[in-house]
Chains A and B, each alone.
Chain A
Amino acid sequence: MPASGRRAKPALVVKIPSETSYLALVRDLTKKMAETAGFPEATADRLALAVDEATTNVIEHAYKGASDQEIELRFEDRGTEFRVEIVDTGKMVDPRTVPRVDLERFVTERRTGGLGMHLMEKIMDSVTFRRSARRNVCLLVKRKEPGAAP
């Protein structure tokens, strides 16, 4: 494990087909990149879950399940923070329309959507969405400061 941690490095950019069969690869890759950036294994596991959820959202909502599209993942260790961009060219999904999680309502109303978004927000320090050059960009950021939220 490099302790290099605080220096920015060139980004790693990966493109995958919009198929759920690639989610395991996304998870493994994210975990490895997070550990390389200096996060402990437990935190790296959570970051992998957040990126899995963001990628799943793209496949299910932006591409509506179409498996012939492309998703770009951009991993960047900026020294003080770890950033992952998930980029697609599908339908723009306004994250403000995703209902916030209410576990009691989930049970009584059988609602199962929005859990992924909730997990992403719980795990990451920042989750933002933007539209740029006809692409949707979801940016996940985790700071490296000691004592930051797990």
Chain B
Amino acid sequence: MSDLTVDTRDVEDVTVLYPRGFINAHTVRGFDGAIQKAVARRRFQIVVNCEGLTYIASAGLGAMMGAIEEIRASGGDLRMAAPNETVQNIFEILGFNHLYRTYPSEAEAVESFRKGGQAAS
């Protein structure tokens, strides 16, 4: 089994990414590539469903930060859903919760775009 797979699904105007496995310096290209593909398709409302994500190192956080300006400048946002305790903890250590909205479930994250919620910063 691969260390990381990233499936993508469009839910109306929202694109949901499903990273499964862990994201570190070894696997980050797959995650970064999935974000970049969504941006290239001009899908700027992105949810990262973290249910299958066991762990994320700074490389993965960097991939998100590298894309967020273009996403927000295009009227979109990148939001997190369902991070496990380990991943949530890493977000908190870095203060990511101030930069990225996080929701308990994918449905709530997707719905947040329908309500026209603003980016976290």
Contact = CB atoms under 8 A, between A and B. Distances in A.
A116 B24 CA distance: 11
Given A107-B69, A116-B58, A123 B24 contact: no
A106 B58 CA distance: 13
Nearest to B22: A24
A85 B64 CA distance: 30
Given A27-B55, A115-B58, A110 B66 contact: yes
Interface stretch (A8-16, A53-61, A71-79, A134-142): A53-61
Nearest to A56: B25
Interface string B43-77: 00000000000010111011101101100000000
Interface residues of A, number: 30
A23 interface: yes
A62 B45 CA distance: 38
Interface stretch (B10-18, B33-41, B94-102, B104-112): B94-102
B7 interface: no
Interface of A: 20-21, 23-24, 27, 42, 45-46, 49, 52-53, 56, 59-60, 101, 103-104, 106-108, 110-113, 115-116, 118-119, 122-123
Across chains A and B, which 9 residue pairs bring their CB atoms closest together, nearest first? A112-B62, A20-B26, A115-B58, A116-B58, A56-B25, A20-B25, A106-B65, A122-B93, A23-B24
